[in-house]
Amino acid sequence: MSEFETISIEKRGRVAILTIDRPEKLNALNSAVHREGVAALDMLKNDESVRVLVITGSGEKAFIAGADISEFEGKTPVSQRATFFDRTLFNSIDSFPKPVIAMVNGFCLGGGNELALACDLRICSENARFSQPEINLGIMPGGGGTQRLTRLIGEGRAMEMILLGDMIGAEDALRFGLVNHVYPADQLEAETMKLAEKIADKAPIALQLCKEAVKFASRSDLDEGLRREVDLFAICFSTEDKKEGVSAFLEKRKPEFKGR
């Protein structure tokens, strides 16, 4: 997949790692990253050999330091709205059918935090720093920050992050529920891969349906969500993987899921 200039893709077994590769600009999200990222995700979602996706940033310093501020100049409201509303990386991650883990290795700011929020799990290094700093530029989050952050950590904490625009450290991010786990920087990749491989062992169709059901929880009322859950639960009963999972349990062996 060498056709990309701003991202790179590596496959390690059943885990694909997508790296935003602009370390000299702290991996800021410009329109090329969005374009190439969306194209890569379109490919990876149809690649049966990939069961879990990890997204990270290149270099030691940053996951992603936000939207590329240099692209804000000269933008009209209409063109800026289209950039953030159309085929964005945020939307492609949100609708990606396989589990996505953000491996946050440093600054996770603005659009970077919004990208991490679109992922299913967030794992970070002890030196990671999180912020929605848009207010300091006289603007506001536009890539899902006000919506996904609020749903994840609650209105009071989201309001404080968004109104102040200050950075918080990894321990606060863990306490707020913004990240799932924190590791020393030199263990981040190994621990993230361990988690990714553990998920990759599970039944792919059931994983996809779990994602759909959990995401629906914050986008519907309880009755609608419970109805959707039972429909998705029933679909699991049509899969070979359900037969394999149940047989393996009864035969006291490890299941081998095929995604069928």
Between the alpha carbon of residue 216 and those of residues 58, 122, 189, 240, 248, the distances in Å are 32, 19, 30, 25, 30
Q: Is 25 in the site for ligand COA (CB under 6 A)?
A: yes
Q: Which is nearer to ligand COA, 99 or 106 (CB)?
A: 106
List, in sequence order, the alpha helices (H) in 31-135: 31-45, 77-85, 89-94, 111-118
Q: Which is nearer to ligand COA, 144 or 245 (CB)?
A: 144
**Exactly one of 32, 38, 39, 69 binds ligand COA (CB under 6 A); which one?**
69
Range 103-162, binding ligand COA (CB under 6 A): 107, 109-110, 133-134, 137
Under DSSP, is residue 67 helix (H, G, I), strand (E, B) or coil?
strand
Of the candidates 92, 12, 10, 211, which has an alpha carbon nearest to the alpha carbon of residue 20?
10
Q: Are 93 and 169 in contact (CB under 8 A)?
A: no
Mark whether 134 is an active-site residue. Answer: yes
Q: Is 220 in the site for ligand COA (CB under 6 A)?
A: no
Q: Is 26 in the site for ligand COA (CB under 6 A)?
A: yes
User: Which stretch, 36-44, 62-70, 211-219, 221-229, contacts ligand COA (CB under 6 A)?
Assistant: 62-70
Copy the structure tokens of residue 59: 């270099």
Q: Is 66 in the site for ligand COA (CB under 6 A)?
A: yes
Provide the total of helices (H) and of strands (E) in the chain, helices listed first: 11, 10
Q: Name the catalytic one among 114, 189, 229, 251.
A: 114
User: Which stretch, 61-69, 87-95, 144-152, 221-229, contacts ligand COA (CB under 6 A)?
Assistant: 61-69
18 strand-pairing partners: 9, 55
Structural element, H or E, at residue 54: strand 52-57
Q: How many residues bind ligand COA (CB under 6 A)?
A: 15
Q: Which is nearer to ligand COA, 133 or 144 (CB)?
A: 133
Q: Is 217 in the site for ligand COA (CB under 6 A)?
A: no
Please provide the DSSP assignment of 154-185 as one string: -HHHHHHHHHH---EEHHHHHHHTS-SEEE-H
Q: Is 174 in the site for ligand COA (CB under 6 A)?
A: no
Q: Which is nearer to ligand COA, 91 or 239 (CB)?
A: 91
Mark whether 160 is an active-site residue. Answer: no
Cite the active site residues. 114, 134
Site residues (vs ligand COA, CB under 6 A):
25-26, 28, 65-70, 107, 109-110, 133-134, 137
